[in-house]
Amino acid sequence: MKVGIVGCGLGGLLIGGLLAKDGFSVKIYEQLPFIGGRFTHFDYDGFKLTTGALHMIPHGSRGYLANILKKVGANVNIVDSNPDGTFLINGKEYLYNELFSILNAKDKLKAINLATKLKLKNVNKNISFGEFLEDIDLALKIGRAFTGWSLSLSPYDVPLSEILNIMDNYHKFGGPGIPIGGCKKVIDELERIILNSGGEIVKEYEVKSIEIEEDKGYIDDEEFDIVISNISPQKTQEICNIKFLNKDVEPAGGIKINIATKKGIIKHGGVLFTPECERVNGLNQVTNVDKSLAPEGWHLVMTHQALLSKNIKKEIDLGLEDIERLFKDIDYKILLIQSYFDGWPVNYVKSGISINNIISDRFYLVGDGAKPSGGIEVEGIAMGVLKVYNHIVKKYGKN
């Protein structure tokens, strides 16, 4: 069977790799001159700076993405973080299970009550995460750091139901890990697998139309048995004869600041959450795990912040002010500031808004605009890819 895929980001490559390994004839169209979308990197004075992601996989070597990579035979070594992360409060780092100790007596009682409700899932799932936390000032700040880092959203923009599903996946798979060789190592391996399995990748080709009929589909004038879109759901609907979005959906925006430093600022390979910052939600220092991502003697630090207003300059300035305070005793230099919004967002659809991956037996969606609930970042992409793959194999079998 012939499979046509529009978009050669991580989602398109994952589904392409799975189907190509199973004997499907796979052809992927990519508008840009490079593949990987927002999950690859480029060289900048010896630093491997990403196009979007942070050289970090949310559930490390145990999660959905890692399992797909193993299934297709990708040679990617993911080093799990230990600890998963720490929280910088009043100049001191705390593990998550140490945060309770710094609460006052009144807030400790409130925290016990909230934790019990979460554990028993005895909560109103329809309220926002921010509303759930707002009675404890420190809890709300920590929640803001977490949702800003992992979802590029304020906690008030995330339904509590989404947080509960994220918690389930965390308890199942654990925390983050760093792929040795960075994001591009993952992309290069998937490209190798697709090409070695007889697949085709066409770069610098902008798809103008998707036409889906009962027994076939078309990408421009080329006929396929199955069509999969890895571009945004919004753009997909614009060029498709099938209308599947029944409501307006918005992207999630963010800002990433790439920093070079010789001394370093983090001692571990996980995330340093910064709940007391004005804008920066957290940072990681991937060179603690993979020194090849920076020139010898240097560390690469990446901060991330949710985009909270449309005034990009102001948001960047607030982030830079946070960095100046964080690095007050450390020499550093800013390498690159990257903003993600509108046509190049962090996520094409905000977390907590679910769009079905399966439009019909001939037409599917993958990518960060069609993540099942509970999927953080690229893990959500992998979850959607698995849903599509399992449906296709069940319907058509392996070729």
Per residue in 13-61, pLDDT (tens digit) is 999 999 999 999 999 999 999 999 999 999 999 999 999 999 999 999 9
Strand ranges, E, within the chain = 2-6, 25-29, 41-44, 47-50, 78-80, 85-89, 92-94, 177-179, 200-202, 210-212, 217-219, 222-224, 226-229, 254-261, 271-273, 282-285, 299-306, 333-340, 358-360, 363-365
The whole-number average pLDDT for the span 282-296 is 98
Which candidate, 233, 237, 230, 227, places its Cα nearest to that of 378?
230
Residue 6, pLDDT > 90, answer yes
Q: For the chain, how many residues are written?
A: 399
pLDDT score for 375 = 96
**Band of pLDDT at residue 248, cut at 50, 70 and 90:** confident
Q: Please, what sign has the CA dihedral across residues 327, 333, 334, 336?
A: negative
Task: Kindly report the backbone phi and psi dihedral angles of residue 286, in degrees, each rounded to the nearest multiple of 5, phi listed first.
Answer: -65, -20
As a whole number, mean pLDDT of residues 356-369 equals: 97
Beta pairing, strands 226-229 & 254-261: unpaired
Q: In sequence order, what DSSP letters do the residues of 187-228 get, joined into one string?
A: HHHHHHHHHHTT-EEE-S-----EEE-SS-EEETTEEESEEE
pLDDT in tens, 184-221: 999 999 999 999 999 999 999 999 999 999 999 999 99
Token representation of residue 70:
């193993």
Domains in the chain (CATH in brackets) are 2-79+181-248+351-396 (3.50.50.60), 85-173 (3.90.660.50), 254-340 (3.90.660.50)
| pLDDT tens digit sequence for 95-121 | 999 999 999 999 999 999 998 988 888
Distance CA 268, CA 288 (A): 7
> What token pair was written down for 52?
């979007």
Q: What does pLDDT average to over the chain?
A: 96
Per the model's pLDDT, the better-predicted residue between 246 and 242 turns out to be 242
The rounded distance, in Å, linking the Cα atoms of 100 and 356 is 39
Question: Which pLDDT value is given to residue 354?
Answer: 86
pLDDT, residue 234, reads 95
Angstrom CA distances, 393 to 23, 212, 216, 223, 226, stand at 11, 19, 17, 20, 12
Tens digits of residue pLDDT in 60-102: 999 999 999 999 999 999 999 999 999 999 999 999 999 999 9
Banded model confidence at residue 126, pLDDT cuts 50, 70, 90: very high
Q: pTM of the predicted model, to two decimals?
A: 0.97
Share of the chain above pLDDT 90, in %: 96
Instruction: Tell me if 258 sits within 8 A of 49, measured CB to CB.
Output: yes
pLDDT of res. 145? 98
Q: In this structure, what is the dihedral angle of CA atoms 326, 330, 336, 340, given to the nearest 10 degrees? A: -20
